[in-house]
Amino acid sequence: MVKGRPTLPVVMRSEEEIRERIASLEAEYDDHDPPSSALEEEAEVAILRAIEELEWVLEEYDAESGFTT
């Protein structure tokens, strides 16, 4: 923790919630494909990064203890 900075609570989402978010991001990505502007291209990159991070979370969590669904 950085002195003087508040910490955000860590909220663990369920596997279903993470998978729904990935699907939502993929749909958003498809809406901007192919990008028609530099802004849309930047949005695509951000969306792909978010998808990658969520997939990594699923892999890490599954490797540690697995989801209990």
* Structural domain includes residue 48: yes
* Structural domain includes residue 13: no
Largest CA distance in the chain: 44
What's residue 4's pLDDT?
65
* Structural domain includes residue 32: no
* Structural domain includes residue 19: no
* Structural domain includes residue 3: no
Q: Model-level pTM?
A: 0.62
* Structural domain includes residue 69: yes
Render 22-65 in DSSP notation, one character per residue: HHHHHHHHHHTSS-SSHHHHHHHHHHHHHHHHHHHHHHHHHHHT
CB count, 10 Å around CB of 20? 12
Domain interval for residue 68: 38-69
Burial level of 1, CB count in 10 A (0-12/13-18/19+)?
A: exposed
pLDDT tens per residue, range 21-44: 889 988 988 887 788 899 988 988
What's residue 1's pLDDT?
47
Domain count, the chain: 1
Would you say residue 11 has pLDDT above 70? no
Q: How far is 46 from 4, CA to CA, in rounded Å?
A: 29
